[in-house]
Amino acid sequence: MHNDRTITEARLKRVLDERIRPAVYPESVPLSVTVWNAPGEPVPVAEGIAAGGVPIAAGAAWGPPWGTSWFTVAGSVPRHWAGRTVEALLDLGFDENMPGFQCEGLVYRPDGSPVKGLNPRNQWVRITDRAVGGEEVLLHVEASSNPVILDYHPFVPTELGDRETADGEPRYRLARMDLAVFDRTVWELVQDLEVLEGLMTELPVDSPRRWEILRAAERALDAVDLQDVGGTAAAARERLAAVLSSPAHASAHRISAVGHAHIDSAWLWPLRETVRKVARTTSNMTALLEDEPEFVYAMSQAQQFAWIKEHRPEVYARVKKAVADGRFVPVGGMWVESDTNMPGSEALARQFVHGKRFFLEEFGIETEEVWLPDSFGYSAALPQLVRLAGAKWFLTQKISWSQANKFPHHTFWWEGLDGTRVFTHFPPIDTYNAQLSGRELAHAVRNFQEKGGATRSLAPTGWGDGGGGTTREMLARAKRLADLEGSARVVFEKPSAFFEKAHAEYAEAPVWVGELYLELHRATLTSQARTKQGNRRSEHLLYEAELWAATAAVRTGFPYPYEALDRIWKTVLLHQFHDILPGTSIAWVHREAAAAYAAVAAELEEIVAGALTALAGDGAGGGTVVFNAAPHGRGGVAANAAVHAGSFAPAPAEVRQREGGGFVLENTWLRAEVDPRGLVVSVYDREAERETIAPGAAANLLQLHQDFPNMWDAWDVDHFYRNTVTDLTDAESVGLADDGTAVRVVRTFGSSRVEQRIALPAGARRLDIETEVDWHETEKFLKAAFPLDVHADRTAAETQFGHLYRPTHTNTSWDAAKFEACAHRFVHLEEPGWGVAVVNDATYGYDVTRTVRPEDTGTTTTVRLSLLRAPRFPDPRTDQGVHRFRYALVPNASIGDAVREGYRINLPERRVPGSSGVRPLAHVDNEGVVITAVKLADDAGGDVIVRLYESLGGRARARLTAGFPLASASVCDLLERPQATAATDGDVVPLSLRPFQVLTLRLERRG
């Protein structure tokens, strides 16, 4: 037989594109269309429907950036269409390659009930399955003219990312607005040919199956009359029946398809637009569930369910029914698909608390899988929190984006900091927006790394990022691929069904220990510093508000603000979404985040002030009560307690002129030298009699890098940024601060200005540095460097409920890839018996490098905090303006010292007029056991909740003393549900914790 393969394949493509697909809609008539442009923000549905409008024709421009237009389409079904299926084709001017990233619409009936969403890959609305002819058609479309931010030439700076800076020019042109006959037989032929073509082109050229499909396709094309596709489509399908019915091999890989629409809670659109994206997508998915009995759809993010409950109750009613039917499946168990690197300990725990509680209260469902396909790396604290929240499975996808090293597993046990393991799947299809194409399925099979041990994987199926979800075409593919020779077997099923089967067949899966570090998007630890500072400050204010409100409630009857705290927590959790906290959203999102954090701070400060006033008592005598919210004692004030301090004020450290210029700061423990450049050239540990700063080096050195990554500007920093650096050593002035207790340094560079205050507190083993930067650079990266005379092959970086170690060397490609990493309040490194910590109140990104000095062969280990960046996409003015940072160098620091100083710098003392000291509600006698939450139980029953963890990485025994008569104690999960009775000894709860164990206690008050 002569080889005509390429000719036949080209014939198939052309006939399918130019003749068969167009014949799906063989007849059409135009609809009449009017439009009303809503002024300002979106209006209620009833107002949009009632507004009327002016005529608009296909080809007319509409839609300024971020506008809302209400289209009314009307017409009647031609009588000669009687008995046929009729659909409306409503094309708002879509580019089919950009579902979720441009204009979208939600279709309503005249009574305001939603029908379905419109997007570039879902433009049809079913009018009737069997027309009688003459039916009147009247529909309303709420269309949002979201501008395209990430275009074909990506990462181009644009002012379209905020309504305040966008122009008012229309972005779209109205396209087809027709009634059309839908030919189901032709549509089915299209699906047949697409599936077979996709399978055929992925099979080896010398595969017999490939040639069988080719010849069947050729025979089908021969049967098609190009002038009467509809009349001959059935005959063409008959010629494909044999190859479509040939069963898959017994060893064929099994793919569990899960209907899915990854919807970023904010990204290249503001929060308010996500509310509408969720409504459009869920309208489509509930409609599809009604049409397709085998379809299962999964949706994560309790926040998104809450949005449609509040803003689109008619859509939510359909969702709730579909959930009750078991086919619309809540997954994830978190409030949002959050970043997991930067949220603090309690915040990450509360993601599960508020997410899982929503699903329990709304649907009676205990979600068991954690669904985080798109976050930018995964904290080693997660496995323990997953299990403590009552979940047992974890899913991610983003690790497939790593640049340097291919992750070695797809199904595995993930072991966290404390040793907890969670069964984890990483879909080999390498997308969370799968379409079930032949290319995708073949890639999943080839890519799957568990061959020989496991046989199945999962495919999140549907258009995502900006939503859209699964389409009827994807379901048609799945039906054909359920048992098809040459292909993986595909079936739609719940995620829990997949995990149960995967676990059963692969219980002895390999183990990965520690964080799931993403070798990409490292700059998300620094971009949009205000958003990150707002998060950090909000987390600590929430800790204080709960602590002092609970203490005041128990001590004085102060009304505990349950509702306010619940609402504020949800606001903070929302802004930890993986495109908000990482700083990768448009300007509009970060502008609103700044306003939200300001409102949160004001409300929490009010709660704290009210509770402290209730606790401090009468301030008429002029006394002062010092409140210490930190979980460690300081200055004579116990942890989580207060003391009546009168007019006590600590004496400042000594500050004097330095020989050769500059200043010397000295106290009992340290002597620090600041040279005439305003750089710290010595921090001498008087007790250990050793220097902290590397010989010939200077600390608190601000360094400026060019920062222009190859792509993903706000997300990425590429390793080559280190190739060029400018040390900011020139000082405009170096002198004493106005109070004479600190050194003040002022620098200018480029268009920016830095003012620093360097101080050595009395009695403290730390050098404090306060830095204010008026930042006006572009595509630059600002670091603060601390070159230390320490030989260490690893650093400890704080993460949620503990710390993890990362190498300082680059022995392997895995080590080298971690050139920028995350730390919370501290980075610590040490030689045996002596260490150094750098603590901070506002930063997350850091890097560590090491060199060996030729002159003395000593090792210099340099820790650098990442302060500011200036990418131009997607926000062209990222981080411009004034920023304030506080960080400190802590010599002679153990891990315990690093933990303590990290909390102290983030939880400063509060001084309140009054005369009453306050005992803590809960006190632990082991400083290595750290309390992260003291609050009243969320069920308002009056019990006190205490959450704590072992912070040093070792076993710990401790005694927790309740500051009130204790009736009983129980060990709880994160949702405060008792799991076991805790032993008590009067008002004391003895504790025994393993390394990094998190423990939640519920303390019942007596009397």
3-state secondary structure of 613: helix
If you write DSSP's letter for every residue of 431-457 in order, what string do you get? -SSB---HHHHHHHHHH-TTTTT--EE
C-alpha count within 13 angstroms, C-beta hemisphere, residue 307: 24
Question: Distance (Å, rounded) from C-alpha 534 to C-alpha 709?
Answer: 26
Exposure string for 671-704, b = 16+ CB within 10 A, e = fewer: bbbbbebbbbbbbbbeeeeebbbbeebbbbbbbb
Q: What is the DSSP letter of 558?
A: P
Phi then psi for residue 862, to 5 deg, are -105, 120
Catalytic residue among 162, 178, 374, 685: 374
Comparing CA positions, the residue from 1007, 995, 927, 941 lying closest to residue 970 is: 941
Q: ∠ CA(417), CA(420), CA(421), 5° rounding? A: 115
713 is catalytic: no
The 3-state DSSP class for residue 178 equals strand
Element (H, E) at 126: strand 124-128
Is 209 in contact with 486 (CB distance < 8 Å)? yes
Other CB atoms within a 10 A radius of the CB of residue 801 amount to 29
Angle between helices 229-238 and 184-202 (to 10 degrees): 50
664's tokens: 């010397």
Structure tokens at 868: 């500011």
Dig out the tokens for 269 from the structure.
Answer: 């659109």
CA distances from residue 581 to 275, 331, 738 in whole angstroms, order as listed: 19, 22, 36
Measured CA distances, 747 to 117, 484, 781 (Å): 55, 69, 16
Supply angle C-alpha 626, 566, 908, rounded to 5: 20
CB-count exposure of residue 27 (10 Å: 0-12, 13-18, 19+): middle
Q: Do you know the residue count of the chain?
A: 1007
Which secondary-structure segment (H or E) carries 66? none
* CA distances (Å), origin 620, targets 276, 608, 617, 888: 54, 20, 9, 37
**Residues designated as active site:** 374
